[in-house]
Structure 1
């Protein structure tokens, strides 16, 4: 499968429902802290399907990314295969100088074909060219496959927030996990 990564451009429309971002939850990350090192194990849980385009993210489904065009501090890349958009990554220069991944999504049918890795590689190039020290992002403890993917790309856990998702669902047990890919000076 030929995957092309290109910058979001004038005339592009992005409907959040074009990409099936659903995933199966059948386990969760259990964190432990030892000094400054955060480790994790995986614990099974009852199986269900989660979709970011549902619930609280509904308003972002038809996001206008026009302000990202020709802006040195933020950018959107699209992953295209078979003449359709199959993935995207939305980046911005964060206040702490890291590149921050606001959103990354790969259509369910195109996962495990290198699309996500190509998007992360493009994000690395953008961040390095912008003089940023690395990339940061956040995902949930119940998105174990995403956590393992980020780890396989060289990201490490830099922190977590036990309460972030309780603003959406008061009794949520999801933990926000913050992942960092810190560049060495030779990249």
Structure 2
């Protein structure tokens, strides 16, 4: 299977409508910090569940104003999408705002390819790495970021305080070039 990673422009902006598909939640990444740094452990859930994120209404002009988007294509079909924001210049990281891959193409390296293509673009913009956020309850995403060379750089325990996901956390990830 040949996958092509391409920047999203007016020519292929329909790729921005790649639908969100269910993913499996099967555990949590538990994060702690002490005087030696960040630590983590996995906690598997007694039962797995499916979740699908709400659809976005991405507009190319807004994405380009904040950064850029990359699409992964199998032939003419968009099978993966990554959106990036580079208005985080104060910390010199390119922010990965969204990353999704069509369910039938997951675990084939598509997400890693999207991140690898983003690296040189970020460097051309004077940035020194990538950063992103994953929910502590999405163990699959956390495993992916750790396996892709990211390290934990922060934990937020307040984002979900007044929501139906109360008790969940956001884990902040960083990867330098």
Q: TM-score w.r.t. structure 2 length?
A: 0.89
Q: Which stretches of structure 1, 4 residues or longer, exceed 4 Å deviation after superposition?
A: none
Q: Which residue of 1 aligns with 2:3?
A: 3
Distance in 1, Cα, partners of 2:142 & 2:175? 13
1:128 and 2:123 aligned: yes
1:159 and 2:124 aligned: no
Distance in 1, Cα, partners of 2:59 & 2:175? 28
Q: Which residue of 1 aligns with 2:114?
A: 119
Deviation at 1:90, TM superposition (A): 0.6
Q: Secondary structure of 1:179's match? A: strand
Q: Which residue of 1 aligns with 2:48?
A: 47
Change in Cα spacing, 1:167 to 1:98, as seen in structure 2 (3 Å) is farther
Match of 1:103 among 98, 101, 112: 98
Q: Which runs of 5+ in 2 are unaligned?
A: none
1:75 and 2:77 aligned: no
Distance in 1, Cα, partners of 2:67 & 2:134? 20
Aligned pair count reads 172
1:58-102 residue CA offsets vs partner (Å, 9 max, x unmatched): 4x2x22122334x5x611000111421111111111142310011
Deviation at 1:132, TM superposition (A): 0.5
Q: Which runs of 5+ in 1 are unaligned?
A: none
Q: Secondary structure of 2:161's match? A: helix
Distance in 2, Cα, partners of 1:8 & 1:82? 15
Kept after mapping to 2: 8 A contact 1:10/1:66:
no
Give the root-mean-square deviation of aligned CA atoms.
1.7
Kept after mapping to 2: 8 A contact 1:26/1:47:
yes
